[in-house]
């Protein structure tokens, strides 16, 4: 079990965080390519909103993956 100030993380929980983070990155990187294709074609209705969403979810995916990797290293 990992002990961070105010948070305890088991290896199972860290693995779940890592899986969710990797899944989120996979989905939103795929959507980024779709976004870029629609942007070039001129068919994207609100590019600023969509780009903001993609960036936010990529950051969330990276952070969840980071927490999962860090948790698995400390729990091992």
Q: Which residues 6+ apart lie within 8 Å of 60 measured at CB?
A: 24
Q: What pLDDT was estimated at residue 38?
A: 87
- The model carries a pTM of 0.83
Predicted confidence (pLDDT) at residue 65 exceeds the cutoff of 90: yes
Q: Which of 4-8, 29-33, 34-38 shows the highest mean pLDDT?
A: 29-33
Q: What pLDDT was estimated at residue 53?
A: 94
Residue-wise pLDDT for 33-53, tens only, equals 999 988 888 887 888 898 899
Q: How confident is the model at residue 59 (pLDDT cuts 50, 70, 90)?
A: very high
In the chain, where the domains are located: 2-75
Environment class of 71 (CB within 10 Å of its CB; exposed 0-12, middle 13-18, buried 19+): buried
């Amino acid at each position: 079990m990992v002990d961070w100030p105010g948070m305890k993380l088991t290896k199972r929980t860290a693995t779940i965080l890592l899986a969710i983070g990797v899944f989120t990155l996979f989905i939103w990187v795929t959507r980024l390519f779709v976004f870029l294709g629609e942007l070039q074609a001129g068919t994207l209705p609100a590019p600023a909103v969509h780009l903001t969403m993609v960036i936010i979810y990529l950051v969330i995916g990276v952070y969840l993956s980071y927490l999962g990797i860090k948790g698995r290293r400390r729990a091992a």
